[in-house]
Amino acid sequence: MLQDPKTIRYYQRLSDTLVELWRRRYRSEELRLFSEGFITALRYGQELDPTQIMRLEQEIAGFLANPDNLEPPELRPQPEEERS
């Protein structure tokens, strides 16, 4: 479990973006590459210490592995505005 507020904010930002990309029909492999790039940028930017980055990486891997986080786009209920 993440404890540091800064790490939690990065986790939330990354997980929200991954869900949005999934809704835009990006594939799982593309999501994984995006998350790796995001985490690599944090490493190079020295935004978090290495322990926090490792923990964030583990949490995001778990997020991507859980099928409940990324539901199939065609099975999502449509909002009322989009229905004909």
> Per residue in 6-19, pLDDT tens?
889 999 999 999 99
Read off the pTM: 0.78
Q: Any idea which of 5-9, 35-39, 76-80 has the lowest mean pLDDT? A: 76-80
- First and final CA of the chain: distance in angstroms? 43
At 42 the pLDDT is: 92
- 3-state class (DSSP) for residue 25: coil
Q: Report the pLDDT averaged over residues 51-79.
A: 81
- Is the pLDDT score of 67 beyond 80? yes
The answer to whether 81 touches 36, Cβ cutoff 8 Å, is no
For residues 35 and 64, the answer to whether their CB atoms sit within 8 Å is yes
pLDDT, greater one: 82 or 29: 29
**Residue 31 amino acid letter:** L
Phi, psi for 78 (deg, rounded to 5):
-85, 140
